[in-house]
A and B are shown apart, each in its own frame.
Chain A
């Protein structure tokens, strides 16, 4: 008797699965397959899109650009929309992995701030449109760091020994030291790189940890007093620990972005473009960025944002601060030099 019950349940289950797949096959509902970072969209905004255009949206996550690259290289896995960071956009363009965007389908593109269009990694926005951007600056806790900070030099201050946190990324850290010495973030000059690394070796004894994913928690918990931090993360830390201050140092800093792009061979290219256009609608945009807490690249969206959002200087960096920023460039074979120095720094060996 019992056995029959289980069998019946299995049969019912199989029938349900079959009928669902059959329905899916018959329905004309289009599906947009998004591959992006975790928690990168407001859920309601996605649901509204589904309802408005009578489509389905699936959303898979990756943890870093290299995972994304590997998957797209291996054949795209059926994704229609991806969100590579700036340098990865240029790598993917060079590897011919992206589909050119048809701007006719994205009239709302005009809403994007001019400073964030026509970037060096994709001249003329042929393949990508910015989704969110931020700047790597210094976050510090006013309880422990009493001085006013405006320079990367502050990290080297012996008073903060053992309390300095750095991002766990060779381009971020070596780039920061290059910038401190007045060079380009993407310098390929061996003497400049060497001198920056020597400078970093002096900083090492002060470093508590290298961390990217949980650097926020380390700052909130006050394990670290001062750190290199993305502006969006600074805003996140500030919410839980109001003693946090954020600054874009005077020597300049790295600007980065995540972008909309369509992988080569995407099945629903037109739908992906429709989605990009929808997301760039001022009202939708305000709703989305209000929820995820990043800076909104949409010029026309500001009036729809809350006062709290508008007044947050970690989210809305000033023009002056933006002028001091620089995009990173693909290093080509010099990446190996950075990587070797990075290994030296982290292992403490030579």
Chain B
């Protein structure tokens, strides 16, 4: 017992130095003030939090939530069939499927995003092909739109959704499906009552990963959105740099972390069926 605690010590130390303390610093700064030069003045103030309840910042927060939820839902719709297909393929194909999903991860995120610029811009690959085929006369403006931002988000985070769902499906006991079909269940029924509930843990993990990554993203809106839409993380970044208002930036970060935690908890609750909760209660 004692030994195992000792083994944990380095990890705990690591977490407290590099995670807890920085977060505490952010919390402390969020209650301070800014002087005219942008320096942090250590006197107690709620100014940062008050500023957030301005319709402008609340509106941007709402936009961020909508985009993040939308990205998560689209990622799920695209990734589930893909993960299902890979998990049910022969072993050799599974390996290749997983490699193909992870290869983009080896390339720098910025380069992957800039690649979309080359594809989508007015003189880009897609427009050139469409014009050569004679389907369009003038190039379509695809870049620097909200659609391009959504595309960039979904594209970048699909692996975050595919991998957890794949793991859940892979671990599922396939004999249950045989039993269901022996007992006369249709394939849809078997999927609805066996496969889907069994892969729930994967969906939950994937959804949280995609959601959190999307809300924290600020480069995609700049590169593919032409910096014309703002997410809350763009505001946080600008408060720390250009606007030199660290207290407000910190207050936004704190609010952001807390609301995200609440949302994730609510989501986990909703995903757990009543039956699950009852079972846990009995155990």
Contact = CB atoms under 8 A, between A and B. Distances in A.
Interface centre among A91, A210, A330, A347 (most CB of B within 10 A): A347
B37 A347 contact: no
Interface in A7-57: none
A186 B122 CA distance: 36
A95 B39 contact: yes
B97 to A, nearest CB: 35
Given A95-B39, A207-B228, A349-B60, A339 B245 contact: yes
Contacts, number: 87
Given A95-B39, A347-B229, A349-B63, A223 B143 contact: yes
A5 interface: no
A336 interface: yes
B227 A210 contact: yes
B62 to A, nearest CB: 9
Nearest to B246: A70
A348 B242 contact: no
A347 B63 CA distance: 9
Give the size range of B's interface with the partner. 20 to 34
Contact of B242 (A91, A95, A332, A339): A339
Contacts of A211: 222, 226-227
Interface residues of A, number: 34
B241 A221 contact: no
B266 interface: no
A142 interface: no
Interface string B233-254: 0110011111111000000000
Contacts of A344: 56
Contacts of A335: 38, 243-244
B227 A209 contact: yes
A223 B243 contact: no
Given A66-B244, A209-B226, A339 B238 contact: yes
11 contacts: A66-B241, A95-B37, A209-B144, A223-B143, A330-B37, A333-B36, A336-B243, A343-B57, A343-B230, A346-B230, A349-B56
Given A91-B37, A211-B226, 20 more contacts: A69-B244, A91-B38, A162-B141, A168-B227, A209-B144, A209-B226, A222-B123, A223-B123, A332-B37, A335-B38, A339-B239, A339-B245, A343-B230, A343-B235, A344-B56, A347-B59, A347-B63, A347-B230, A348-B229, A349-B63
In the complex, the 3 A-B pairs of residues with the closest C-beta atoms, listed nearest first: A209-B226, A210-B227, A349-B59
